[in-house]
Structure 1
Amino acid sequence: MTVIALLSVAPVIEGSMSGEVAKAVDALEAYDVEYETNPMGTVIEADDVGELFAAAQAAHEAVDGDRVSTVLKIDDKRSRDASAEQKVEAVEEHLGRPATNRDESDDETEAE
């Protein structure tokens, strides 16, 4: 079974949150999960929902601050095993193209 989740953890502060978000992402390393961070959160995959909850809790607790906001959305499809990558590929198959309108050259320009 693959459990997929979207996790967003951030302190409720003014100014840059990237350092605190990095602490939350780094906390995931201690768990048996795969993850990928994007601008809106971190997609997490685990074989066990308990491991996913433990990883999310660790990420939440890793953020310093008087107030921390955490959003966790879970897709636990128990009848079939599909990774996050496979879900995106299924959408791209219907589209007949990548599920983005960004050029790879845009990514290279942003990295400079």
Structure 2
Amino acid sequence: MTVVALLSVAPVTEDSMAGEVAEAVAALEEFDVSYETNPMGTVIETESADELFAAAQAAHEAVDGDRVSTVLKIDDKRTSDEAASEKVAAVEDELGREAHGDRE
């Protein structure tokens, strides 16, 4: 089974969040997960929901602040082992191109 999730952890602050977000991402290194950070969160892949929850909790706890906002969106498709990259590839196949646009 492959569990794919979008995790967003951030302190509630008006200042830059980059340092604290980096702490949350670094906390994922202690777990058997693969991940990719993007501007809106971090996509995590793992073999079990238990490992996902443990990693998400560690990321949440790694952020230092009086208030921390965490969002976890999970795709636990139990009938296949489709990786996140395969999900993107399926959309790109339908589009007939890469699934991104460039804005400058």
> Could you tell me how far 1:15 is from its partner in structure 2?
1.1
Q: What is the distance in 1 between the residues matched to 2:20 and 2:100?
A: 28
**TM alignment of 1:5-24, pairs within 5 A:** 5-24=5-24
> Could you tell me how far 1:85 is from its partner in structure 2?
0.2
> Could you tell me how far 1:14 is from its partner in structure 2?
1.0
Q: What is the distance in 2 between the residues matched to 1:44 and 1:21?
A: 15
Structure having the higher Rg: 1
> Could you tell me how far 1:73 is from its partner in structure 2?
0.2
Secondary structure at 1:91's aligned position in 2?
A: helix
Residue 46 of structure 2: aligned partner: 46
Runs of at least 5 residues in structure 1 that lack an aligned partner in the other structure: 107-112
Q: CA RMSD for the aligned pairs? A: 1.0
Relative to its length, the structure with more helix (as a share) is 1
**TM alignment of 1:70-85, pairs within 5 A:** 70-85=70-85
**TM alignment of 1:78-97, pairs within 5 A:** 78-97=78-97
Moved over 3 A (4+): none
> Could you tell me how far 1:101 is from its partner in structure 2?
1.3
Percent same amino acid among aligned pairs? 72
Q: What is the distance in 2 between the residues matched to 1:27 and 1:86?
A: 26
Amino acid at match of 1:14: E
> Could you tell me how far 1:102 is from its partner in structure 2?
1.9
Q: Calculate the TM-score normalised by the size of structure 1.
A: 0.91
Question: How many residue pairs were aligned?
Answer: 104
Residue 66 of structure 1: aligned partner: 66
Runs of at least 5 residues in structure 2 that lack an aligned partner in the other structure: none
